[in-house]
Structures are given as structure tokens and as C-alpha cells.
Structure 1
Amino acid sequence: MRANFLFAVLLKGQWGAGKTWFIKKYYEKRKANKQKCLYVSLYGMTTFSEIEDAFFQQLHPVLSSKGMAITGNIFKEAIKTTTK
């Protein structure tokens, strides 16, 4: 029986304590066992929206690519032009 865990981990500690090292080792182990896992560093993020965007980019790399963003902007502009 395979267990599905849906959880997030936040490690707090002093700078240099090994938080990132610990999480990256855990991530590598899960990935080696073909288990799905997302890794997002909160360093430099200031809003919940930035965190959501980071998860979206990992879950949907094609939809969040620069090419798709450009295509979306062109499509929006085309719609604006045709509706005027």
C-alpha cells in the first residue's frame, strides 16, 4: 500500500545550521525513489502570491514559460484590438 502525504515543511534555525542541506537531501531521496516533491525556497519572497507562482512554475513548466507568457500577451492584445 502506497501512502500519499500532503504536507509542507518549514525549518527554522540560525543561519548556517544546515536547514537547506537537510531539505535538499530529503528532496533528493524522494526524487530517487520516483516520489513527487516540490521544493521552493522562501528566501527573498515577500508575498503569498510569489509563493503560489513558484509552486505553479514547478507544477506547470510549459504554462509558466516565457514563451507562453508572450503568447498570452499577444492573445490579450488581439482580443482588445478586435473588441474595439
Structure 2
Amino acid sequence: MSNTNQHIIDYLNWYLSEKCKMRAAVMLTGSWGSGKTHFLKNEYMLNEPKRFIYISLNGIASAEDIDALLIQSLHLLLESKGVKIGGEIAKSFLKNAY
């Protein structure tokens, strides 16, 4: 059985690989209800070990709104328990290394 989203999976895998030198956002387009969010959150992101920032552009009116969403998402990511624990471990390691 073939995956109808295979071309998207292939592109995202290439984009996230070392081969790709671009570092920007990827926007999936499709009609309302076509499954973009479901695909990303329930299929692709669950099978990838990398961390993602997902924002919805639904209702966004300006570039400033996008900036605010990205900052908010980054803040939530950096405040997560795992990141805090990792930061404490790194600080402890660096402190004891010198």
C-alpha cells in the first residue's frame, strides 16, 4: 500500500537532513480539512526524533503575528522539563570540567 503523502515525507526528510543547507520554514498548503495538521502531528512528527515547532497560520493577519507565535512556541519549548533538565546537566558537566 503506497502512502499518498510520500512525496511530502521525502521532502521533509531531505529538508531536515545534512544535505539541505536551507534553514527556513516549511509551509504545507491544502484546502481546509484536507488533513495537513493531522498528517504532521499524528503521522510525521510522531515518527521523527527531531523536535519541531508547529504553528498554525489560520487567522494570522501579519508577519508580526507570525513572529509572536514563533517566539511563544520557542519559549514553551525552552521552558519544557526536558530542556531544563538537559540544561542543568550541561551546566553541571561544564562546571566540573574546569
Asked if structure 2 preserves the Cα contact closer than 8 Å seen for 1:27 and 1:39, the reply is no
RMSD of aligned residue pairs (Cα, Å): 2.5
> Given the superposition, is the C-alpha separation of residues 4 and 29 from structure 1 closer, same or farther in structure 2, using an over 3 Å criterion?
farther
Identity of aligned residues (%): 35
> Given the superposition, is the C-alpha separation of residues 11 and 21 from structure 1 closer, same or farther in structure 2, using an over 3 Å criterion?
same
Equivalence for 1:59: 74
Q: TM-score, normalised by structure 2?
A: 0.47
Counterpart code for 1:17: S
The Cα offsets for residues 40-81 of structure 1, whole Å up to 9 and x where unpaired, read as: 0001111111111111112123xxxxxxxxxxxxxxxxxxxx
> How many aligned positions are there?
58
Q: TM-score, normalised by structure 1?
A: 0.54
Which residue, out of 44, 56, 64, partners 1:49? 64
Separation (CA, whole Å) in 1 of partners of 2:45 and 2:55: 11
Segments of 5+ residues of structure 1 without an aligned counterpart are: 62-84
Residue 22 (structure 1) shift: 1.4
The structure with more radius of gyration: 1
